[in-house]
């Protein structure tokens, strides 16, 4: 049985302009110890679909409109709030893009980590403090005993993210959800944090869902990749398979639009025409159809569903197997 099994997840937001189907029928599985990268552009539903697992969607205006999320056999979406406390932070932890908004600015960082440990396990305050220092050391905060009493503003962005990670892993969760944790960081600091999470993942054997818009980063971090567009999964599969043989025109376009060294001086990048759709009035049929260069009559009629292509690779496109993907696949150069 997979660690996490998401089935037909739907999340809606009621706005004054209309109903936004932010997540519109998302299904995937995550095995123990696996690393799934979820990529997509802003508004594609990648963050919302992960927040919904822990019921962290503000309701209203948000609402989980349907689906199941089985974690260790329990449906997270059917649990009572109280039952959820036993899972949030203990079995599923989360780190966010901006640690400053998740840390308490007027509480020393050591105490915040210790509190997370104390709340989530039955240990004494003293033991929680000892463990907090240990876990701060584990995430690479230098001199954790001395810095225990320091406040978040005394830390750099990278160090604050380390503190957040310390809190997240303090109870040895089975699943860590990382929502763009390095987007606000500089490239050299980003590399530090990525290596840290990869090391902790190996040491603790936890599964990771890493949400990002950065295709380079997902190639570095993930073992499987899930590409989202307009609230739906358009392609999912083993990372090497999807990068070398992308099947959905959107995945293909994304991969081709990333610069990969100079393939010839001043050659234009391949780009996807148009812009992501307005989530309130999605186009008929396939949501990607207005931007798709392979769009055919059937694409305007019906929404395509995910089709298995073998080896856990799935894609949702009416024209699967009939696209000249080989000719368009990005040439790798350094």
Partner 1 sequence: MDTNGAYILRVEDLKKYFPLRRGLLGRGIAHVKAVDGISFAVRRGEILGWVGESGCGKSTLGRTVLQLERPTSGKVFFDGQDLTQLGGEQLRRLRTKMQIIFQNPYSSLNPRMPIGRALIEPMVVHGIARGKQAQERAIELLQLVGLNPYFINRFPSEFSGGQRQRIGIARALALNPSFIVCDEPISSLDVSIQAQIINLLQRLQQQLGLTYLFISHDLRMVQHISDRIGVMYLGKLVEIGPTEEMVHHALHPYTQALWEAVPIPDPEVEEKRQVAILEGDVPTAANPPSGCRFHTRCPYVMPVCREEEPALVELAPGHFAACHLHKR
Chain residues in the site for partner 1 (CB under 8 A): 41-42, 156, 158-159, 186-192, 194-195, 213-217, 219-220, 222, 239-240, 243-244, 253-255, 257-262, 266, 268-273, 275-276, 332, 334
DSSP conformation class of 149: T
96 versus 243: smaller Cβ distance to partner 1: 243
Q: How far is the CB of 36 from partner 1 (least distance, A)?
A: 13
Which 3 state secondary structure label does DSSP give 213? Answer: coil
79 versus 295: smaller Cβ distance to partner 1: 295
Alpha-carbon gap, residue 108 to 211, rounded angstroms: 29
Q: How far is the CB of 236 from partner 1 (least distance, A)?
A: 15
269 versus 308: smaller Cβ distance to partner 1: 269
Structure-token pair, residue 23: 């997540």
Alpha helices for 95-170 (secondary structure H) = 99-102, 109-120, 125-138, 144-147, 157-169
Q: How far is the CB of 91 from partner 1 (least distance, A)?
A: 28
122 versus 281: smaller Cβ distance to partner 1: 281
Q: How far is CA 144 from CA 22, 136, 155, 197, 285, in A?
A: 41, 6, 12, 18, 55
Q: How far is the CB of 221 from partner 1 (least distance, A)?
A: 8
Q: How far is the CB of 303 from partner 1 (least distance, A)?
A: 20
219 versus 320: smaller Cβ distance to partner 1: 219
Alpha-carbon gap, residue 275 to 69, rounded angstroms: 31
156 versus 301: smaller Cβ distance to partner 1: 156
Q: How far is the CB of 98 from partner 1 (least distance, A)?
A: 14
176 versus 254: smaller Cβ distance to partner 1: 254
Alpha helices for the chain (secondary structure H) = 46-53, 81-85, 99-102, 109-120, 125-138, 144-147, 157-169, 187-204, 215-221, 239-244, 249-256, 297-301, 325-328
Q: Scanning the structure block, which residue is given the tokens 């380390």?
A: 162
Alpha-carbon gap, residue 19 to 151, rounded angstroms: 41
Alpha-carbon gap, residue 30 to 321, rounded angstroms: 26
């Amino acid at each position: 049985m997979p660690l996490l099994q998401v089935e037909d997840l739907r999340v809606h937001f009621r706005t004054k302009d209309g109903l936004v189907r932010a997540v519109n029928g998302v299904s995937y599985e995550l095995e123990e110890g696996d690393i799934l990268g979820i990529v997509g552009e802003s508004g594609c539903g990648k963050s919302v679909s992960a927040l919904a697992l822990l019921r962290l969607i503000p309701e209203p205006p948000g609402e989980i409109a349907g689906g199941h999320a089985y974690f260790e056999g329990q449906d997270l979406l059917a649990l009572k709030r109280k039952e959820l406390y036993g899972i949030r932070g203990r079995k599923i932890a989360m780190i966010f893009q901006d640690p400053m908004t998740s840390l308490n600015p007027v509480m020393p960082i050591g105490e915040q980590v210790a509190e997370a440990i104390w709340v989530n396990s039955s240990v004494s305050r003293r033991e929680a403090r000892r463990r907090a220092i240990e876990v701060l050391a584990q995430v690479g905060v230098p001199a954790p005993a001395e810095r225990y009493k320091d406040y978040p503003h005394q830390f750099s962005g990278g160090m604050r993210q380390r503190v957040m990670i310390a809190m997240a892993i303090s109870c040895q969760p089975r699943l860590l959800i990382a929502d763009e944790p390095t987007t606000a960081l500089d490239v050299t600091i980003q590399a530090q944090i990525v290596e840290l999470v990869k090391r902790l993942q190996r040491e603790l054997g936890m599964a990771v869902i890493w949400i990002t818009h950065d295709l380079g980063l997902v190639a570095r971090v993930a073992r499987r990749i899930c590409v989202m567009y307009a609230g739906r999964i358009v392609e999912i599969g083993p990372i090497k398979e999807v990068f070398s043989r992308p099947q959905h025109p959107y995945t293909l376009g994304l991969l081709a639009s990333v610069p990969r060294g100079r393939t010839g001086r001043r050659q234009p990048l391949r780009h996807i025409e148009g812009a992501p759709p307005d989530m309130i009035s999605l186009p008929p049929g396939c949501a990607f159809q207005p931007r798709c260069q392979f769009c055919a009559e059937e694409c305007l009629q019906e929404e395509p569903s995910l089709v298995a292509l073998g080896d856990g690779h799935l894609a949702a496109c009416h024209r699967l197997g009939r696209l000249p993907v080989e000719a368009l696949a990005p040439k790798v150069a350094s």
